[in-house]
């Protein structure tokens, strides 16, 4: 997510705002990070905006929902300012993720609210939900099924307190399912026959995911999101004494009973059901059917309720980027994603590590020499791109840089947002032959700052690749030792003959001058 620009020592008690812009609602969390490495929740807000209203007919977010989103997000921005927030982490999920006009919507939101929203993948959404729940819920060591039913998608996780084994996102949420089966929002009562037909269709759509879940063998379940919280609230207020509801738990039998009860009521009567908010009465049946179907097909009889959610995961992810903080797990999460992709593509690890090491030496020494002013977040992305630069060879050696670009840009790398993935794809895809043009697609991929950063990072990777043409690590050090108005000097140290590397590096001189506006002067030293 966002890399904090200041350490806790620089700003001992910063305030952070986290915003989750979903299909049905938008949520805000404002928290203060304390000196003793704890955090205090200062405010939670949630507003129903139905951003996905009408979207599932033409895959387009319409103007009225956008206006509602802008209005609420402006309010959230004002609250963050009132609390003197040092940072706002804001993500957009299913509705914007699946919309054909998503880039226009994001641009409009940024312009109108001054909040930079990042579109995250369904798998990343699932990971953040797990982070939020695992940080505030006692899951334990046993494998647990985690279910979050949103407006446009349902996230499925199999994990425990410390790790996850499965992350899935299903294009099947309460709003999406309602619009598919009942465009009028279940305005009338619904027959049991119709409910069974919906259940059958949901079971067909979830069969593959259910099989995966059962292979992992979770022994219990935890649920979050407005749909599940609402169902638990309604269950707690059922007047029937035979309805033995336990607070914080929903049984599969209870959920089926609630479906029958709610389906038997027209919308106006549903709005008056205790525990059910009026703005969720039209979509609650669909959400309940999704939950019941998943539990039934996985064989789990009850589900615990957690009030933690995606916005809590955003906060924990932010804290994980602060060195020394107890939740510092950002590097393992990102490296696990990168290493997994690299292993799947059967890379040559020694070469990848050598190119990565040289790339970072070039980046650091060039920054010290005044050749660029890129920050440590760019350095991290260069490290990941360098490690993955050759994965395209898994498809074919010829043109493998283009295959590398495709693989990175189309893989849901956990821990990264869409913009970061695009940067890594551009950099890694530019490691040989002509530098790729910066794409205008993606999440803010055409920003001026990115247009200038990618060629710089790509040049370091190209040079590092040239310096290991022999694939045996014979270049042991590469560092820029200085620069003047006309040229930059690169000092290289070898442990054996580097004729091949010298020839390859000479081919980069024109490109180097184009990127930095300076001639490249190389100095070679052989170790005895």
pTM: 0.74
Q: Which CATH architecture has domain 15-120+312-319?
A: 2-Layer Sandwich (3.30)
Q: Report d(CA 23, CA 96) in Å as an integer.
A: 8
Distances in Å between the Cα of 316 and the Cα atoms of 1, 93, 204, 458 are 10, 18, 35, 31
Alpha-carbon Rg for the chain, nearest whole angstrom, is 26
**Virtual torsion, Cα 139, 140, 142, 143, nearest 10 deg:** 30
3-state helix, strand, coil in the chain (%, to 5): 45, 15, 35
CATH H-level, domain 138-307: superfamily? Exopolyphosphatase. Domain 2 (3.30.420.150)
Q: Which CATH architecture has domain 330-526?
A: Orthogonal Bundle (1.10)
**Tens digits of pLDDT across the chain (528 residues):** 333 334 444 566 889 999 999 999 999 999 998 776 677 889 999 999 999 888 777 889 999 999 999 999 999 999 999 999 999 999 999 999 999 999 999 999 999 999 999 999 999 999 999 999 988 787 888 999 999 999 999 999 999 988 999 999 999 999 999 988 886 667 788 899 999 999 999 999 999 999 999 999 999 999 998 999 999 999 999 888 777 888 889 999 999 999 999 999 999 999 999 999 999 999 999 999 999 999 999 999 999 999 889 999 999 888 887 766 665 444 445 787 788 889 889 899 999 999 999 999 999 999 999 999 999 889 999 999 999 999 999 998 888 888 999 999 988 776 677 788 899 999 999 887 664 444 444 444 445 566 789 999 999 999 999 999 999 989 999 999 989 999 999 999 999 899 999 999 999 999 999 999 999 999 999 876
**Virtual torsion, Cα 240, 241, 244, 245, nearest 10 deg:** 60
Residues comprising the chain, all counted: 528
Residue 283, token pair as written in the block: 């979509």
| Domains 15-120+312-319 and 330-526 fall in the same CATH topology | no
Q: Report d(CA 120, CA 417) in Å as an integer.
A: 6
Distances in Å between the Cα of 527 and the Cα atoms of 223, 474, 477, 478, 492 are 61, 10, 11, 13, 10
DSSP helix/strand/coil, 201: helix
H helix intervals, 182-283: 192-216, 226-235, 252-263, 267-270
Domain ranges of the chain: 15-120+312-319, 138-307, 330-526
Residue 460, token pair as written in the block: 């370091």
């Amino acid at each position: 997510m966002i890399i904090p620009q200041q350490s806790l020592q620089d700003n001992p008690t910063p305030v952070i705002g986290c915003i989750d812009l979903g299909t049905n609602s938008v949520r805000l969390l404002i928290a203060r990070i304390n000196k003793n490495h704890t955090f205090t929740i200062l405010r939670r807000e949630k507003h129903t905006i139905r951003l996905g209203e009408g979207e599932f007919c033409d895959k387009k977010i319409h103007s009225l929902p956008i206006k509602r989103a802008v209005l609420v997000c402006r309010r959230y921005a004002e609250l963050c300012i009132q609390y003197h927030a040092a940072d706002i982490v804001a993500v957009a999920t299913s509705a914007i993720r699946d919309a054909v006009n998503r880039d226009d919507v994001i641009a409009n939101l940024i312009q109108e609210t001054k909040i930079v929203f990042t579109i995250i993948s369904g798998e990343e959404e699932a990971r953040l939900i797990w982070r939020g729940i695992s940080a505030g819920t006692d899951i334990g060591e046993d494998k647990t099924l985690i279910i979050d039913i949103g407006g446009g998608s349902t996230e499925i996780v199999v994990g425990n307190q410390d790790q996850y084994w499965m992350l899935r996102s299903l294009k099947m949420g309460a709003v999406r399912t309602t619009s598919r089966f009942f465009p009028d929002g279940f305005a009338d009562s619904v027959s049991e026959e119709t409910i069974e037909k919906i259940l059958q269709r949901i079971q067909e759509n979830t069969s593959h995911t259910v099989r995966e879940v059962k292979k992992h063998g979770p022994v219990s379940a935890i649920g979050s999101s407005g749909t599940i919280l609402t169902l638990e609230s309604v269950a707690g207020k059922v007047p029937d004494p035979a309805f033995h509801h336990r607070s914080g738990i929903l049984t599969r039998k209870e959920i089926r009973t609630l479906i029958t009860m709610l389906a038997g009521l027209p919308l106006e009567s549903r709005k008056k059901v205790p525990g059910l908010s009026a703005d969720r009465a039209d979509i609650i049946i669909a959400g309940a059917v999704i939950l019941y179907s998943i539990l039934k097909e996985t064989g789990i009889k009850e589900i615990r309720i957690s009030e933690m959610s995606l916005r809590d995961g955003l906060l924990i992810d932010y804290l994980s980027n602060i060195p020394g903080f107890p939740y510092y797990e950002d590097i393992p999460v990102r490296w696990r994603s990168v290493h997994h992709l690299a292993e799947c593509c059967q890379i040559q690890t020694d070469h990848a590590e050598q190119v990565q090491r040289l790339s970072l030496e070039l980046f650091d020494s060039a920054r010290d020499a005044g050749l660029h002013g890129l920050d440590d977040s760019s350095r991290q992305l260069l490290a990941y791109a360098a490690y993955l630069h050759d994965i395209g060879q898994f498809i074919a050696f010829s043109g493998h840089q283009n295959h590398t670009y495709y693989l990175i840009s189309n893989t849901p790398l956990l821990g990264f947002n869409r913009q970061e993935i695009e940067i890594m794809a551009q950099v890694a895809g530019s490691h040989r032959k002509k530098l790729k043009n910066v794409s205008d697609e993606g999440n803010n991929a055409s920003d001026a700052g990115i247009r200038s950063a990618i060629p710089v990072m790509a040049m370091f990777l190209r040079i590092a690749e040239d310096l290991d043409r022999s694939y045996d690590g014979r270049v042991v050090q590469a560092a820029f030792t200085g620069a003047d108005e006309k040229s930059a000097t690169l000092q290289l140290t070898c442990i054996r003959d580097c004729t091949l590397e010298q020839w390859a590096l000479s081919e980069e001189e024109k490109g180097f001058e184009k990127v930095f506006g300076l001639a490249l002067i190389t100095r070679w030293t052989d170790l005895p």
